Amino acid sequence: MEKKNIKFHIIKLINILYKIYRLFYLRKKVIKLRKIINNYNYRYYILNNSNILDYQYDKLLTQLIKLEHLYPYLKNKNSPTQLVGAKVKSYILQKKKKHKIPMLSLNNVFNENNLFKKFFSPINKRINSSSFCCELKFDGIAINLLYKNGYLVSAITRGDGNIGENIIKNVLQIKNIPHILKGKNLPNILEVRGEIFITKKKFKLLNQKKLNQNKLFSNTRSATLGILKLNKNINKKIFNLLNFFSYGIGFTNKNFFLNQQEILKKLQYYGIPICKHTKVYSSYYEIINFYKYFKKKRYFLPYNIDGIVIKINNIKKQNIFGCTNHAPKWAIAYKFPSQEKLTSLKKVIFQIGRTGILTPIANFHTVNINGVNINFATLYNINEIKRLNLKIGDKIIIQRCGDVIPKVTNVVINEKCTRKRKNILIPKRCPSCNSILNKKKNNILYCTSELFCKAQLKAYLKHFISRNAMNISFIGEKLIDKLVDKNLIKNSVDLLNLNNFVLSKIENLGNKSIEKILKCLKKKHKVTFNRFLFSLGIPEVGIVTSNIISFFFKTLEDFLNTNLIKLQNITNIGEKTALNILNYIKKKHNINIIQNLLKKIDIIYTNNISKKNFFYQKKIVITGRFKFITRYNLVNQLRILGAIINNNISKKTNILILGIKPSSKLLKATKFNIKIINENKIIYLLNQISNFEKY
């Protein structure tokens, strides 16, 4: 009996020992399997160089899933079985997601002067020396990748900086974004910030093969965005076209980094792709050279960049400077200037503008600048053709800067080419109404037919409906073209009196559109006095002059009864403008038009505007030259608004208005911490006041 008992216990013990052994064995096997799978994942997702066949990989993963299922105590949240299939899917359902730390933008500068003024000078004032991390500015779409315990769980677009869209489903398909981080001591939470982009080569492929449902993209940035936003019935292979570079981190629970360079190195250690061209410099000379080098080298890079980013390297120093709501003060984007392209001139087209001036337009072989195809550029006026000594067939340089109209900046003289060059024939008659063109003192040609010329009538009516004038959006520019071409309208009154009979003569204009236009025209249109004056299209009376007139004359009647002396008494209205105004209000035809317009329009007089406005009683100093407004006009406008204009900066100055090439007033103003407003901003503010209470 005893023997039997001992045997039983031995068997039991062996069983237990076997179970313990099996447990260890299985644990070891699971760990080994996880390691192998993680390695394959790394090769596949990060190195983009898988060395295992799909079915072999699936076999390994199935083995691991089975083991974890049979022995739940072996489960681990860091297991590759928890990736994508299980864990991530639940995140995919969430659309909008908050960033743990807001995703800021960057302040931009376009030249060395501003780089010093806006970035280096303020830094130099507070810290003695510093080193800067210089990076490329990738031209793509910003993304915030959230890794929890090393696993990618969400990918949020920048959105408004606080909340973005979780596009994890699509981001998971991008090959060089790791689903799992590698390396030791991973932080539990890590926000990886960077840019998703498409290389130049893949962009070409995308458009050549029309991979995106036959649609073409105009530049790499819009292509990246287009692909990232795709959601239904798409071939997942399209995401193979995208790439990612990280340029930093957001939130992390393990924040022990000393500098930006260290952050990038750590990210690389975790398996995150970073760009190899980052450099740390401590002299401006080297930073400027880095910029100059990549300004040229960018054409040879496989992806598009639009500048460089300069960041204070030391994190503690970064924190001294902090951020505004919009951008960090410790970093700046030093952008490349607008791109220039060489092409050749095919022909010159002549157009008549609102004021009858003949404008030559250059038509050249298509060039792509910053991702936009261009084949037309303005030549401003006849004198510009002479200045450039431009001929048909010439090699020309086209420049496009932001949203500004492209222009011809230069002619490249090629001696061998001289035989092919053909003179540009300057028209003697108006290309629109065929009347003989007149010449101004400065040789500029213009058509005298005014609104009898269809080109001028079209341009005037487009001015009449524009935002700063009547702000009519229910009538489009194309409709105006058709109405004028068909001789259905002759002036602005006809436009406001459009009826069903006239509109039904326009092809492709549906009943619903007609109904909408007629419904809008039924109501009396409300417009402020200054905008009404601007809408009349009097030569030389732009929005700024219209504002001044509207302050000077209390009512339209006052204005229509004015005389040359009164007009010239308005300090900032010159003789030429005064004569133009007088010439306009003397014509019976114009008064007729105004009287008829008043049947459809209510003018709003904004009497107390000057006391409510931003500039009222502010002490203002002006420095430098201005591009879009004369200093004379600026001073007068500000005075009308109740501002006090001073010549010199003192502690009591409230605002410095900054133009090009400022004097030492700028330095003084920065010393006293005085608010500085540049030309764009001042024009914006003045326009806002003039558009005050838009109707």
Residues annotated catalytic, as ranges? 137
Residue 371 beta carbon to ligand IVH: minimum distance, rounded to whole angstroms: 16
Sign of the torsion formed by the C-alpha atoms of 479, 480, 481 and 486: positive
Identify which of residues 104 and 496 has a Cβ nearer to ligand IVH in the complex: 104
Q: Where are the beta strands (DSSP E) in 105-199?
A: 108-109, 132-138, 141-148, 151-157, 163-165, 189-198
Contact (Cβ atoms closer than 8 angstroms) between residue 326 and residue 104: yes
* Among 105, 113, 188, 583, interactor with ligand IVH by CB under 6 A: 105
What is residue 461's three-state secondary structure? helix
- Residue whose entry in the numeric block shows the structure tokens 């459809």: 600
Q: Give DSSP secondary structure letters for 416-455.
A: GGGGG-BPPPPPSB-TTT-PBPEE-TTS-EE---GGGSHH
* Footprint of ligand IVH on 609-648 (CB under 6 A): none
Strands 644-646 and 619-623 turn out to be: parallel
Closest-by-Cβ residue to ligand IVH is 142
3-state helix, strand, coil in the chain (%, to 5): 40, 20, 35
Q: Which stretch binds ligand IVH (CB under 6 A): 60-68, 100-108, 147-155, 631-639?
A: 100-108
Q: How far is the CB of 309 from ligand IVH (least distance, A)?
A: 4
Q: Which of residues 304-323 bind ligand IVH (CB under 6 A)?
A: 309
Among 45, 138, 239, 460, which residue interacts with ligand IVH (rule: CB under 6 A)? 138
Q: Which is nearer to ligand IVH, 97 or 668 (CB)?
A: 97
**Part of the chain binding ligand IVH (CB under 6 A), chosen from 10-18, 104-112, 392-400, 436-444:** 104-112
Q: Minimum distance from CB of 327 to ligand IVH (Å)?
A: 7
Residue 83 CB neighbour total at 10 angstroms: 21
Question: By C-beta, is 135 or 679 nearer to ligand IVH?
Answer: 135
What would the x/- binding string for ligand IVH be over residues 190 to 209, using CB under 6 A? -----x--------------
Residue closer to ligand IVH, measured from CB, 332 or 527 = 332
Query: Taking the complex as a whole, how short is the minimal distance between the CB of residue 108 and ligand IVH, in angstroms?
Result: 7
Query: How many Cβ atoms are within 10 Å of 563's Cβ, its own excluded?
Result: 11
| DSSP code for 74 | G
Indicate the residue among 108 and 359 with the shorter CB distance to ligand IVH. Answer: 108
Pick the closer one to ligand IVH by CB: 223 or 475: 223
Nearer to ligand IVH among residue 34 and residue 158 (C-beta)? 158
3-state SS class at 87: helix
Judged by CB under 6 A, which of 61, 74, 123, 142 binds ligand IVH? 142
Q: What is the SS3 assignment for 667?
A: helix
Give residue for tokens 């004379």.
632
DSSP-assigned states of every residue in 217-283: -SSHHHHHHHHHH--SS--GGGGGGEEEEEEEEEEES-----BHHHHHHHHHHTT--B-TT-EEESS
Of 41, 61, 80, 135, the residue at the interface with ligand IVH (CB under 6 A) is: 135
Could you tell me the sign of the dihedral formed by the alpha carbons of 302, 308, 312, 318, in that order? negative
Q: Report residue 652: phi and psi, to 5°.
A: -85, -10
CA-CA-CA-CA torsion for 103, 109, 112, 115, nearest 10 degrees? -50
Nearest-approach distance from CB 242 to ligand IVH, in angstroms:
15
159 binds ligand IVH (CB under 6 A): no
Answer for which of 159, 226, 328, 539 binds ligand IVH (CB under 6 A) is 328
Applying CB under 6 A, among 247, 532, 552, 559 the residue interacting with ligand IVH is 247
Q: In what order do the strands lie in the sheet with 675-678?
A: 644-646, 619-623, 655-658, 675-678
Nearer to ligand IVH, 104 or 241 (CB): 104
The yes or no reply on residue 106 touching ligand IVH (CB under 6 A) is yes
Backbone angles phi, psi at 148, to 5 degrees: -115, 125
Do residues 174 and 242 touch, judged by C-beta distance below 8 A? yes
The stretch among 99-107, 230-238, 509-517, 682-690 that binds ligand IVH (CB under 6 A) is 99-107
Instruction: Give 192 or 348: the residue with its C-beta nearer to ligand IVH.
Output: 192
Q: What is the DSSP letter of 50?
A: -
Sole binder of ligand IVH in the list 137, 221, 463, 665 (CB under 6 A): 137
Residue 651 burial (10 A CB sphere; 0-12, 13-18, 19+): exposed
Q: Which of 380, 379, 414, 382 is nearest to 395 (CA)?
A: 414
Out of 164, 187, 248, 537, point to the residue binding ligand IVH (CB under 6 A): 248
- Residues in a beta bridge with 134: 279, 310
How many residues make contact with ligand IVH (CB under 6 A)? 15
Taking the complex as a whole, how short is the minimal distance between the CB of residue 157 and ligand IVH, in angstroms? 10
The answer to the question of residue 104 lying near ligand IVH (CB under 6 A) is: yes
Determine whether 502 is exposed, middle or buried from the number of CB atoms within 10 Å of its CB (0-12, 13-18, 19+).
Answer: middle
Q: Does residue 437 come out as left (phi exceeding 0), alpha (psi in the -120 to 50 range) or beta?
A: beta
Question: Binding segment for ligand IVH among 55-63, 134-142, 368-376, 546-554 (CB under 6 A)?
Answer: 134-142
Query: Minimum distance from CB of 215 to ligand IVH (Å)?
Result: 24
Q: What is the closest distance, in whole angstroms, from the C-beta atom of residue 29 to ligand IVH in the complex?
A: 44
Cβ 188 to ligand IVH, closest distance in Å?
A: 23
Nearest to 347 by CA among 425, 447, 444: 425
DSSP state of 474: S
Among residues 249, 263, 274, 333, the one that binds ligand IVH under rule CB under 6 A: 333
Q: Rounded to an integer, what distance in angstroms lies between the CA atom of residue 448 and that of residue 455?
A: 12
Nearest in space to 492 (alpha carbons), one of 355, 589, 356: 589
Q: Assign residue 185 a region (left: φ > 0; alpha: ψ between -120 and 50; beta: otherwise).
A: left
Work out the angle at residue 82's Cα, subtended by the Cα atoms of residues 150 and 272, and round it to the nearest 5 degrees: 30
| Burial class of 610 by CB neighbour count within 10 A (0 to 12, 13 to 18, 19+) | middle
Half-sphere exposure of 617 (CA within 13 A, CB side): 2
CA gap 642, 613 in Å, rounded: 8
Q: By CB under 6 A, is residue 382 in contact with ligand IVH?
A: no
Q: Which is nearer to ligand IVH, 191 or 394 (CB)?
A: 191
- Taking the complex as a whole, how short is the minimal distance between the CB of residue 106 and ligand IVH, in angstroms? 4
- With CB under 6 A as the contact rule, the residue among 241, 331, 484, 517 that binds ligand IVH is 331
Minimum Å gap between C-beta 246 and ligand IVH is 9
Q: Closest approach of Cβ 260 to ligand IVH, in Å?
A: 9
Q: Closer to ligand IVH at the Cβ: 138 or 529?
A: 138
Give the range of 327-335, 379-387, 426-434, 596-604 binding ligand IVH by CB under 6 A.
327-335
61 binds ligand IVH (CB under 6 A): no
- Of the ranges 149-157, 291-299, 326-334, 357-365, which one interacts with ligand IVH (CB under 6 A)? 326-334
Beta carbon nearer to ligand IVH, 105 or 366: 105
Which span sits near ligand IVH by CB under 6 A: 133-141, 226-234, 366-374, 452-460? 133-141
Residues that bind ligand IVH (CB under 6 A): 104-106, 135, 137-138, 142, 158, 195, 247-248, 309, 328, 331, 333
